[in-house]
């Protein structure tokens, strides 16, 4: 059995907060009576930040929540805005930047021209440094995640900056580490089972199923239980899944853990669909590819935003179709961001990598450039659908934990774009402008 080296006391998994009460009935109509009951029964998020419980005046909306309350900005969506929208003055034209030209490069990384996104501040450098230090210690000392010659690639992933940008409301670094371990473990499974580091569609189903038991434990007879337990240390992905999940279940509620397991099963099913196309050497229809991407996407990351934030969205609110739609659209949009920023990286890799521009070019007979630009439009449509759905749900469900969760998902979407834009170690843009 693997011997685990303990981190310093401050890095132990945070204690779980008392779970907030679930609502007693389905709230699809979100009637006034049910909302009143929900508001009374759900813990006020101000308590998370230390404000006195029962304070007389509600806090002002934070910037990300204000963006959701303002609603979407696409054509025909003015009626969905919840507060008056102040339109900013058009920016002054930068020197050397005329109409139709690409915007100047940012300090680090260039945003894809025409991609709908919201800039975010640089993440707290102190937290980034500490998360980066702890995650590398965990990867090396606790789970033996990678050999020495992968160290540069691990550092280049910049996962500390990624997670701090996506979870600025995390109460402590311990909370940030919940998301960071899971992100690294998921990436290890993708690389080692599916992609760059020995991945193959052959036998993928077996590998994913056995790895999934590190998240969703096997309950079997006493004779066979020890063999399963030993198998959790058999390779780096299973070691990472097992350890990351141990930290997660100590920090979150049973409902949050089960939610995460469900989303990881979705992810693994998406991996299998992509592997099937690879074995058949088939390019799917565009709609089929987008269906696969609704499963093989970032969904497990924003769906745990409440655990990382130190509170809980009640299970029956999370399960509402309107909330599921918001979460799915967020995952879909952020995953197309990955398709777009990783496009040149994947083209340079051996074999054919399916991404949205490649599928559109093949299925719709477009040039590489036109297919890429159409993919940008698909992303923008998904983003506006996400913001529309979030605005509608925010108006219909004024429950503090739900509104904070929606704010957290929107923040994750913005942080995900920030990381892709600034990670110039991994990504560069095609020369299409």
**For 257-267, how does the pLDDT look when each residue is reduced to its tens digit (9 = 90+)?**
999 999 999 99
What DSSP letter does each residue of 220-259 carry, written as one string? --TTTHHHHHHHTTSSHHHHHHHHHHHHHHHHS-HHHHHH
Question: Residues 327-349: pLDDT tens digits?
Answer: 999 999 999 999 999 999 999 88
71-80, 253-262, 361-370, 406-415: the lowest-pLDDT one: 71-80
Over range 112-125, report the average pLDDT.
96
The domain locations on the chain are 122-251, 283-432
Question: Residues 94-105: pLDDT tens digits?
Answer: 333 333 333 333
pLDDT surpassing 90 at residue 124: yes
Q: Rounded distance, CA 226 to CA 218, Å?
A: 11
| Structure confidence at residue 198 (pLDDT) | 66
Quick one: CA torsion of 71, 418, 239, 276, rounded to 10 degrees? Answer: 70
3-17, 39-53, 222-236, 245-259: the lowest-pLDDT one: 39-53
pLDDT surpassing 70 at residue 272: yes
CATH architecture of 122-251: Orthogonal Bundle (1.10)
Measured in whole angstroms, the distance separating CA 345 from the mean position of its chain's CA atoms is 21
| Structure confidence at residue 125 (pLDDT) | 97
Which CATH class, in words, describes the domain spanning 283-432? mainly alpha
| Structure confidence at residue 362 (pLDDT) | 97
Over range 339-361, report the average pLDDT.
92
Number of H helices, E strands in the chain: 18, 0
| Structure confidence at residue 196 (pLDDT) | 64
* Average confidence score pLDDT of the chain: 81
Over range 58-81, report the average pLDDT.
39
pLDDT surpassing 70 at residue 401: yes
Six token digits for residue 285: 């229809």
Q: How confident is the model at residue 108 (pLDDT cuts 50, 70, 90)?
A: confident
Over range 109-125, report the average pLDDT.
95
Six token digits for residue 228: 């399963």
Q: How confident is the model at residue 351 (pLDDT cuts 50, 70, 90)?
A: confident
């Amino acid at each position: 059995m693997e011997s685990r080296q303990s981190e310093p006391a401050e890095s132990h998994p945070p204690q779980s907060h008392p779970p907030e009460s679930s609502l007693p009935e389905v709230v699809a109509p979100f009637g006034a009576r049910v909302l009143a009951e929900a508001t009374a029964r759900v813990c006020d998020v101000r308590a998370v930040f230390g404000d006195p419980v029962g304070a007389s005046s509600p806090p002002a909306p934070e910037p990300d929540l204000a963006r959701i309350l303002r609603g979407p900005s696409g054509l025909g969506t003015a009626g969905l805005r919840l507060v008056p929208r102040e339109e900013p003055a058009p920016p002054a034209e930068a020197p050397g930047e005329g109409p139709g030209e690409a915007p100047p490069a940012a300090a680090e990384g260039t945003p894809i021209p025409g991609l709908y996104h919201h800039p975010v501040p640089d993440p707290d450098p102190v937290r980034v440094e500490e998360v980066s230090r702890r995650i590398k210690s965990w990867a090396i000392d606790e789970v033996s995640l990678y050999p020495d010659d992968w160290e540069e690639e691990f550092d280049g992933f910049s996962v500390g900056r990624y997670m701090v940008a996506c979870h600025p409301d995390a109460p402590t670094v311990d909370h940030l580490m919940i998301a960071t371990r899971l992100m690294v473990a998921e990436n290890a499974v993708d690389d080692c089972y599916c992609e760059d580091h020995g991945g193959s569609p052959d036998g993928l189903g077996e590998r994913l199923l056995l790895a999934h038991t590190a998240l969703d434990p096997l309950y079997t007879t006493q004779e066979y239980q020890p063999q399963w337990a030993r198998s959790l240390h058999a390779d780096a992905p299973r070691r990472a899944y097992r350890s990351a999940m141990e930290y997660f279940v100590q920090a979150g509620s049973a409902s949050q853990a089960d939610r995460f397991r469900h989303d990881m099963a979705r992810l693994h099913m998406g991996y299998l669909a992509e592997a099937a196309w690879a074995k058949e050497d088939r390019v799917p229809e565009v709609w089929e590819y987008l269906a696969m991407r609704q499963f093989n996407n970032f969904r497990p990351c924003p769906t745990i935003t409440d655990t990382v934030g130190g509170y809980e969205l009640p299970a029956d609110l999370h399960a509402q179709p309107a909330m599921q739609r918001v979460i799915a659209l967020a995952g879909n949009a952020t995953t197309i961001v990955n398709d777009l920023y990783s496009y040149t990286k994947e083209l340079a890799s051996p074999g054919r990598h399916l991404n949205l521009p490649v599928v559109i070019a093949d299925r719709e007979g477009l040039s590489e450039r036109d297919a890429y630009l159409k993919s940008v439009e698909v992303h923008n449509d998904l983003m506006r659908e996400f913001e529309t759905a979030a605005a509608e749900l925010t108006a219909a469900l004024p429950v503090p934990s739900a509104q904070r969760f929606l704010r957290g998902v929107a923040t994750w979407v913005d942080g995900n774009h920030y990381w892709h834009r600034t990670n110039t170690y991994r990504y560069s843009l095609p020369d299409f402008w």
